[in-house]
Amino acid sequence: MRNQIFFTLVVSLVWTSCTFTRKVQTGMQAYEVKQFSVATQLFEAEYAASRSQEDKAQLAYYAGESFSNLNDPASAAPWYYKAHEDGFGPEALDRYADALKQQEKYPEAIKAYEDLLKTSPGNAAYRSNITLCKQAIDWKKNKNAAYEISQVNFNTTAADYAPVPIGPGTLLFTSDRDSKETSESYLWTGRSFSDLYVFKSATQEVAPFDEVINSPDNEGTAILSPDGQMLVFTRCYAGQAYDAWCKLMYSYKRGNVWQEPEPFPFIREEVNYGHPAFAANGTTLFFSSDAPEGQGGHDIYFTQVDGAGIWAEPANLGTFINTIGQEQYPTVYKDTLFYSSDRLAGLGGLDIFKTYLNQEGQWVPPINLRSPVNSGADDFGFIVDTFAAPAENVLMQGYFTSSRGGAARNDDIFAFTLKGIQPGTDIVDVPDNEVPKEKPVDYQIFVSIRVMEPQFEVPDDPNSKRIGKKALPNGPIIITEGLSDQRFVTDELGQFLIKLEWNKQYTFTARYRDHLAASFTLNTAEVERNPLKTITTINQIMELDPIFRNKEIVLENIFYDYDQWAIREDAKPSLKNLSTILKNNPAIRIQLSSYTDCRGTDEYNLDLSQKRAQAAIDYLMSLGISAKRLVAQGFGESNLSVNCVCEECTEEQHQENRRTTFKIID
């Protein structure tokens, strides 16, 4: 989804910029100043009048791009196809396939990707998209029956989105519906500027939120603090400049009056911010931003406020959440983070995912909510209604936004109910006089792999702190099942998805130039089949360490008792990990080095360290590593890790000096 605007290609609050009125004469002029509703008309007229095939190809392509920015893939698709036929290049066919996916025309999209593969056989992204389209077909057939969804009755033909429950039966939401306040239109969409509105179910009335908050600019995607005294929302300035920016604003309530909004102190120039969401504690705020230090596109960040009311510098949630695509619309319910992404495996457009922090404080691999919540269109803003009255067999109620359905698919608000369906099998419909038969459940299993490399605090020091992970794109994946091997290639995000068979054992090996290979084994017979979840996706991150040749890497937890060289039980796991590295990388040789503490004579310590290094080598050989690949080297006390005065060193410092390292020598 290129040229992504802040609210998913369609809604009025622009993510990339806000545009003021400017007279245009050509489609490209309108496109460049983001007057997309005008651009579509001009491009169509210019295409009909042009006699140059090269010009027609470009005009058709940008007509498609303009319709895409209006979130109208049904109109965009034929223009992309015209551009392809007129010789624009593979990008037009790629965008055509993407527009088909957004309309859930998956078989046609597969055909387009297969045609692209004929011109670029090694393209991992095309192969991945074919797999994703096939998975989407399965997901549409096997909807999550626990979810019931329906459109709310206050949607309009305009864009209505990002609802937030602010009380029993009361919703705060965003809309660019016609306003009596002004007749001015926003040239991106050709509709009104967006504002915040309130819907009350008791009266079935919709009213503007507050005149202090709503302005002549675009406002939207708001959130109230848990105590109801602070409002955070997004404002995109229409301004007097060609490109303005979206900011996070806040306002405090004094009595019953909202104060004049102000931007957050961490807001930077020429960076977009939006989609705020409070955690339950009221001191942690999540949001989206296209800050340049992110993973790419728009990432999810968080900030925290201290007791003095000072907001911390925002932190990126990292690569477990963020990709080079668009990650937007975070919301939090209990320990679960919901958000939308257009780069993870999904049905098309933005899909809604969920994740949570595990006991180690890391985000678990995100889970796609699948159909019926997700669709080929943009789906976002999933939020739980904590004010909803409890109901029997209902686990959760809430809302989300989707652009599904229709031609120019303006966003609509949907309500959802998650029910606690009892486990069981589907029932086949039969006449009343026959005994119903159970329909066999078609359980399917996929594995989703993401290949990454660690990021070090000191880039060329493998012993420095690991501070994050980075994707390794377009690398080989070898899948071994029985005696057969199959080779695949990851996409530009380092991702790979494939459907597996039940009751088989697979070994997955990831390789990358100048990196150590890694592998894992999956036995599908051991994966539980959940009656409520007919499609299971195993998410696996494979981390490949860069090869640091002739640099010593300290083996963690390889310690020795004083004056001893025997391998302790607590050292064996680390050596087993090293043996796995060696088995995955059969071409490398290593030198395994051992060091002593400062006690004893130089000659004695040199001999002791050599025995310790050899003991580690012997243990690796017992695990099946050839002696030809191993070199033992003792260094005695020649290079102390902790350079303390020997008589004053603590026992912990002595033990840290009694260490073992390895380095790759071939």
Helix H, strand E, coil C: the string for 281-297 is CCCEEEEEECCCCCCCC
In the chain, CATH 2.120.10.30 sits at 147-419
Q: Give the model's pLDDT for residue 191.
A: 56
> For tokens 């309309």, what's the residue?
103
Cα 535 → chain centroid: 20
Torsion region of 514: left, alpha or beta (phi above 0 gives left; psi -120 to 50 gives alpha): left
CATH homologous superfamily of 444-543 equals Immunoglobulins (2.60.40.10)
Q: Which helix (H) or strand (E) holds 74?
A: helix 73-85
| Residues in the chain, total | 666
Nearest in space to 64 (alpha carbons), one of 49, 50, 52, 86: 86
Q: Give the model's pLDDT for residue 428.
A: 41
Q: Give the model's pLDDT for residue 78.
A: 97
Q: Give the model's pLDDT for residue 184.
A: 53
> For tokens 């001009």, what's the residue?
42
In the chain, CATH 2.60.40.10 sits at 444-543
CATH homologous superfamily of 553-664 equals OmpA-like domain (3.30.1330.60)
Q: Is 663 helix (H, G, I), strand (E, B) or coil?
A: strand
Cβ-contact 397, 389 below 8 angstroms: no
Q: Which two tokens stand for residue 206?
A: 């919709």
Query: Between β-strands 630-634 and 553-554, what pairing exists: parallel, antiparallel or unpaired?
Result: unpaired
In the chain, CATH 1.25.40.10 sits at 27-141
Residues 6+ apart with CB under 8 A from 647: none
Round to the nearest angstrom and report the end-to-end CA distance of the chain.
44
* Cross-strand pairs, 231: 224, 251
Nearest in space to 156 (alpha carbons), one of 192, 181, 183, 185: 192
> Which residue ranges in the chain fall short of pLDDT 70?
1-23, 179-192, 238-244, 360, 406-409, 421-441, 531-534
Contacts of 467-470 with C-beta under 8 Å, sequence gap 24+, read 468/318, 468/319, 469/318, 469/319, 469/320, 469/541, 469/543, 470/319
Q: Give the model's pLDDT for residue 250.
A: 97
Which CATH entry fits the domain spanning 147-419: 3.40.50.720, 3.20.20.220, 1.10.3720.10, 2.120.10.30?
2.120.10.30
Nearest in space to 404 (alpha carbons), one of 438, 380, 386, 377: 377
The beta strands (E) that lie in 342-405 are given as: 351-356, 367-368, 379-384, 394-402
> For tokens 């909202």, what's the residue?
258
Distance CA 631, CA 637 (A): 19
Nearest in space to 386 (alpha carbons), one of 198, 169, 148: 169
Residue 293, burial from CB neighbour count under 10 angstroms (0-12, 13-18, 19+) = exposed
Contacts of 585-589 with C-beta under 8 Å, sequence gap 24+, read 585/516, 585/517, 587/666, 588/516, 588/547, 588/629, 588/664, 588/666, 589/628, 589/629, 589/630, 589/631, 589/664, 589/665, 589/666
Q: Which two tokens stand for residue 79?
A: 């223009």
Q: Which fold has domain 27-141?
A: 1.25.40
> For tokens 């510098």, what's the residue?
313
Residue 63, burial from CB neighbour count under 10 angstroms (0-12, 13-18, 19+) = buried
In the chain, CATH 3.30.1330.60 sits at 553-664
Residue 229's CB: how many other CB atoms inside 10 A? 12
Q: How big is the CA angle at 26 (ends 22 and 30), to the nearest 5 degrees?
A: 45
Cβ-contact 546, 585 below 8 angstroms: no
**Per-residue model confidence as pLDDT tens digits over 587-627:** 999 999 998 888 888 899 899 899 999 999 999 999 999 99
The overall pTM is greater than 0.85: no
